[in-house]
């Protein structure tokens, strides 16, 4: 297990996508995540078949998925607050152990033939509830293991680990069920959770390796962070300076859910990121739906043709994760440019006359989407002050679950009205136009915001020379900027 700070300082100029693996704790964390992802996908592969076997109803299968997702919509904010309040390593280890206990319980009930649909729904709800804490805790713990400039690499490596775990889990599921039965898949998943829980205590966040044990540091708040909370009618000129704990992230006396909400919605770059990701999720990216209809409909392909398209999408996602891992300080502007570019490729793909042309376009679509996801996740997880990151991820979890539930029905309705080609073209153009309009509005606000400043500081009897156009737009107010 990692115990030495040696090797924790990679070259500051490095852009290697694998630079996060220079940290010993990150290597252990990646191995643990691969094991956990393989176990999770092994269970997910057999879970739907198990629901069908018990109920014989496709509707019940869909309901079990919704029951597990519902807590993310309703209580993610509370889960994020818990992550900020409790020690991160302890929180992640306990949540992993609880998920393992749920998996073992399900395995016992399946093996003894005592699992019915009601119990299955309850277990699904418990899993979803624990995941509202486990998700942000594990995400932030992984980021704590590397320096801030190496977080994109950690996220990219995590994406690759997730893809590899998914492939391994789905492949092992069939073998496991065939030889050992359905209960064995749940047991394997439980063991994978316990493995992660056993690794976590030995992980060393970067700050622990670079400073003596028990040393207290002060986390300064950056100048453009909004005051949280602020009294109405007052202008606060100083901000809270939370003291870092042994976990390496500052604590504030105000640990409420409201504080996370206020910070998120007073932070223009996070609101912009949510808008970009939301509209992209609702009118694009659901390629499993739109491309399936396009391939089997206008392009007259079959299941094999769509399988080929899905494979190219997966390959593009992996390539994009590698490219995204090379980033160091991505911005919301970069996320928007990539999302708009991917949307235009989607619109062009709607005109594909053949499967071959579609495959040529699908690859860069997947690459751009994956790089955009890595950049956006990096901004989301590094922009807030350390003591607010759990709650910010909680806000994000609720919002993203909402658009994840609303997107497929909305896209399905669009396909009913305009067809698969029309949905791809219309959705792509709508995404690109919305993002472009947002950038134009921000530029206009940044430009006009300088006029009140000039009037406030004007000297009577003195007329200033007008600034060149470049100077008027070069220094927007910090509070209006959505770029990193």
Give me 52's structure tokens: 């069908």
Comparing CA positions, the residue from 330, 215, 208 lying closest to residue 269 is 330
User: Tell me, what's the pLDDT at 237?
Assistant: 40
Distance from chain centroid for Cα 334: 16
User: Tell me, what's the pLDDT at 461?
Assistant: 47
**For residue 250, is pLDDT > 90?**
no
**For residue 459, is pLDDT > 50?**
no
- CA–CA gap between residue 8 and residue 395 (Å, rounded): 32
pLDDT-derived band at 46, boundaries 50, 70, 90:
confident
User: Tell me, what's the pLDDT at 336?
Assistant: 95
Mean pLDDT is lowest, of 15-24, 168-177, 329-338, 384-393, for: 168-177
Mean pLDDT is lowest, of 51-60, 263-272, 416-425, for: 51-60
**For residue 331, is pLDDT > 50?**
yes
**For residue 288, is pLDDT > 70?**
yes
Taking CA atoms, 130 is separated from 69, 100, 106, 452, in Å, by: 11, 11, 15, 49
User: Tell me, what's the pLDDT at 200?
Assistant: 96
The enclosing H or E element of 462 equals none
Question: Where is pLDDT greater, at 135 or 49?
Answer: 135
Distance from chain centroid for Cα 271: 15
User: Tell me, what's the pLDDT at 208?
Assistant: 59
Mean pLDDT of the chain: 81
pTM (predicted TM-score): 0.75
Residue 103: HSE in the Cβ half-sphere, 13 Å Cα cutoff:
27
Question: Where is pLDDT greater, at 467 or 115?
Answer: 115
Mean pLDDT is lowest, of 202-216, 255-269, 297-311, 378-392, for: 202-216
What number is the average pLDDT over the span 71-76?
84
Comparing CA positions, the residue from 43, 322, 26 lying closest to residue 168 is 43
The residues that bridge with 250 in the sheet, in sequence order, are 244
**For residue 478, is pLDDT > 50?**
no
- CA–CA gap between residue 146 and residue 473 (Å, rounded): 35
């Amino acid at each position: 297990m990692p115990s030495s700070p040696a090797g924790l300082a990679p070259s500051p100029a490095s852009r290697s996508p694998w630079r996060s693996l220079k940290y010993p704790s990150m290597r252990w964390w990646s191995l643990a995540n691969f094991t956990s992802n393989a176990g999770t996908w092994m269970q997910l592969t057999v879970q739907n078949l198990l629901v069908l076997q018990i109920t014989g109803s496709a509707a019940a299968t869909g309901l079990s998925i919704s029951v597990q997702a519902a807590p993310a919509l309703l209580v993610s904010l509370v889960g994020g607050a818990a992550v900020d309040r409790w020690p991160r390593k302890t929180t992640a280890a306990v949540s992993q152990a609880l998920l393992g206990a749920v998996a073992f319980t399900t395995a016992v009930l399946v093996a003894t033939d005592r699992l019915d649909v009601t119990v299955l729904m309850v277990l699904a709800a418990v899993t979803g509830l624990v995941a509202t804490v486990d998700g942000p805790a594990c995400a932030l713990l992984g980021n704590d293991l590397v320096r801030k400039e190496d977080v994109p690499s950690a996220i990219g490596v995590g994406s690759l680990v997730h893809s590899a775990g998914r492939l391994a889990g789905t492949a092992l599921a069939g073998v496991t069920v065939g030889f050992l039965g359905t209960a064995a898949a749940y047991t394997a998943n439980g063991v994978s959770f316990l493995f992660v829980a056993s690794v976590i205590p030995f992980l060393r966040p970067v700050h622990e390796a670079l400073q003596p044990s028990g040393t207290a540091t002060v986390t300064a708040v950056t100048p453009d962070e909004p005051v949280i909370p602020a009294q109405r009618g007052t202008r606060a000129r100083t901000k809270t300076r939370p003291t870092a704990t042994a976990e390496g992230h500052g604590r504030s006396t105000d640990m409420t859910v409201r504080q996370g909400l206020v910070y998120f919605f007073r932070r223009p770059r996070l609101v912009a990121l949510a808008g970009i990701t939301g509209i992209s999720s609702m009118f694009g990216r659901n390629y499993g739906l739109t491309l399936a209809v396009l391939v089997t409909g206008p392009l007259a392909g079959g299941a094999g043709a769509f399988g080929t398209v899905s494979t190219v999408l997966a390959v593009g996602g992996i390539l994009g994760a590698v490219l995204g891992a090379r980033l160091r300080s991505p911005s919301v502007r970069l996320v928007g440019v990539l999302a708009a570019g991917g949307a235009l490729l989607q619109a062009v793909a709607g005109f594909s006359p053949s499967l071959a042309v579609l495959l040529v376009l699908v690859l860069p679509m997947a690459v751009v989407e994956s790089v955009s996801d890595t950049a956006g996740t990096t901004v989301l997880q590094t922009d807030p002050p350390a003591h607010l990151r759990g709650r910010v991820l909680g806000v994000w979890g609720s919002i993203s679950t909402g658009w994840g539930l609303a997107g497929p029905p909305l896209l399905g309705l669009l396909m009913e009205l305009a067809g698969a080609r029309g949905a791809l073209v219309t959705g792509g153009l709508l995404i690109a136009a919305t993002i472009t309009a947002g950038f134009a509005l921000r530029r206009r606000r940044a430009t006009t915001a300088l006029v009140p400043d000039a009037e406030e500081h004007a000297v009577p009897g003195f007329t200033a020379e007008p600034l060149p156009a470049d100077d008027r737009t070069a220094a927007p107010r910090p509070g209006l900027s959505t770029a990193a």
